[in-house]
Amino acid sequence: MKKNREAIPTFANEAEERAYWERTDSTMHMDWSKAERVRLPNLKPSTTAISLRLPVSLLEQIKIAANKRDVPYQSLIKMWLSEKVG
């Protein structure tokens, strides 16, 4: 039995679309049983640059710790932040 699907509405902006999908069951609009798995191997998460003032001694300690682990100090900072937040 074929189920009638509703048309996806037009949205004024991304925030409106996000709010719609947060409260709407997507099966009203599409048949997920016919979906195909896709791989996006070159997809990278969005990043943004920030400026962070650190005491020189702290930055030096971080650089030493990164050197011991053979990773760039900025990568080590990201790893530590990810561990604490996650």
Mark 31-69 as b/e (b = at least 16 C-beta within 10 Å). Answer: eeeeeeeeeeeeeeeeeeeeeeeeeeeeeeebeeebeee
Helices assigned H by DSSP within the chain? 14-23, 56-69, 73-85
The structure's pTM equals: 0.50
In one-letter notation, the amino acid at residue 19 is A
User: What pLDDT is attached to residue 2?
Assistant: 59
Residue-by-residue pLDDT tens, the chain, 86 positions? 456 788 999 999 999 999 999 999 999 898 899 999 999 888 888 889 999 999 999 999 999 999 999 999 999 999 999 999 97
Sign of CA dihedral 35, 39, 43, 44: positive
